[in-house]
Amino acid sequence: MKRILYIAICAALAPTCEAQALGGLAQVTIIDRDSGVALSPHYYQGEYWVAGRPGARYAVDIRNRLGERLLAVTSVDGVNVLSGATAAWDQAGYVFSPGEQYRITGWRKSDTEVAAFTFTESPNSYAERTGRPANVGVIGVAVFRERQPPVVYSPPVIGGTPLRQEAPRADESAPMAPGESGAKAPMAGDSSAAAGALAQNSPSMPAQPLSSVPLIPAPAPKLGTGHGVREYSYVSHTEFLRMQTQPNEVIRIRYDSLDNLLAMGVIKRPRRWTPTANPFPDSPEPQYVPDPPG
């Protein structure tokens, strides 16, 4: 059975700094909505981290870099932001038109409302409050390209009669159509080919949580994402046929408070600044006209 996917049809967006974005097919940036600042990613032990401010609202800003539609299945703390289900690749997501950019600002509650993403202590996060604390502190975007319809060749017509095409000889193999593989493609009525249908996982690669790396000990409660106030956010529905069952790209961003990232060594502490340092210590200070007495 076909499932409906969400698509954002309009968004007034402030430009984001591409230097803070991660990803190839799609670029992902985490935005502090209260300050309007794009959070800088810090690379540490194979992962990217951003520092969130406790209590601040934030958004996941996604921009499609291709000239074709993309599907972005998005999760926060291991939870699908549209359905609230434990996240998996084969679930519904946001569909982006070519070059489109959109800010996901909260947990989708309806076609017109979201509950704002807020940085909060882990025990108050939506994931932990619903009994799923294992993946608190990670944001994931699984990007899928769209399967394009096959190209239909029409023979040229001369004098009202189509030109006859010669059949290939027995010793010649017909070339495959672009994108076709040796395996039999699913039929149009097959659930695996339906737009937005649940993709069947390969037995050799079962679906896994977006974060399976053990968490690094932190000196204070780590940050999670809370279920904030309701906000207006309109979406409509569309269909999307995935090019393949596994994502073409997975973007993963971990987050925590600045204090915790400093303590874990993700962000290096700046050296102590000496405000009285003089670049010419042996040179006399310039003399100016002194004030009069009294």
How do residues 167-226 score in pLDDT, each as one tens digit?
A: 444 444 444 333 333 322 222 222 233 333 333 333 333 344 444 444 455 567 899 999
Higher-confidence position of 155 and 192: 155
- Biggest alpha carbon–alpha carbon distance for the chain: 112
- d(Cα 189, Cα 187) in Å, to the nearest integer? 5
| Residues 87, 252 contacting (CB under 8 angstroms) | no
Is 46's pLDDT higher than 80? yes
Give the pLDDT of residue 15: 44
Quick: pLDDT tens for 81-139: 999 999 999 999 999 999 999 999 999 999 999 999 999 999 999 999 999 999 999 99
Considering only 108-117, 151-160, 193-202, 232-241, which range has the smallest mean pLDDT? 193-202
Give the pLDDT of residue 219: 65
Give the pLDDT of residue 215: 46
Position 242 in a domain: yes
Position 258 in a domain: yes
Position 161 in a domain: no
Give the pLDDT of residue 206: 38
Query: What is the rounded average pLDDT of the residues 2-9?
Result: 41
Is 6's pLDDT higher than 60? no
Position 162 in a domain: no
What is the average pLDDT value for the chain, to the nearest integer? 77
- List the 113-121 sheet strands across, edge first: 106-108, 113-121, 223-232
| Residues 25, 66 contacting (CB under 8 angstroms) | yes
In the numeric block, which tokens belong to residue 54? 């406790």
150: confidence class by pLDDT, cuts 50, 70, 90: confident
Position 179 in a domain: no
| Residues 104, 225 contacting (CB under 8 angstroms) | no
Q: Following DSSP, what letter does each residue of the chain receive, concatenated?
A: ----EEE----------GGG-B-SSEEEEEEETTTTEEPPPEEETTEEEEEEPTT-BEEEEEEE-SSS-EEEEEEETTEETTT-SBP-TTS--EEE-TT-EEEE-EEE-SSSEEEEEEEEEGGGSHHHHTT--TTTTEEEEEEEEBPPPPPPP---EETTEEPPPPPPPTT-PPPPPTT--SSPPPPTTSGGGSTTPPPPPPTTS----S--SPPPP-SSPPEEEEEEEEEE---EEE---BSSSS-SEEEEEEEEEHHHHHHHTSSPPPPPP-TT--S-TTSPPPP-PPPPP-
Does pTM surpass 0.75?
A: no
Position 57 in a domain: yes
Position 213 in a domain: yes
How many domains is the chain partitioned into structurally? 1
- d(Cα 265, Cα 285) in Å, to the nearest integer? 41
Give the pLDDT of residue 277: 65
Domain around 34: 5-149+195-264
Give the pLDDT of residue 7: 43
Higher-confidence position of 33 and 168: 33
Give the pLDDT of residue 151: 75
Higher-confidence position of 38 and 270: 38
The residue among 21, 54, 19 whose CA lies nearest residue 256 is 54
Query: What is the rounded average pLDDT of the residues 44-67?
Result: 95
Position 20 in a domain: yes
Higher-confidence position of 147 and 6: 147
Give the pLDDT of residue 37: 94
Rg (CA), the chain: 26
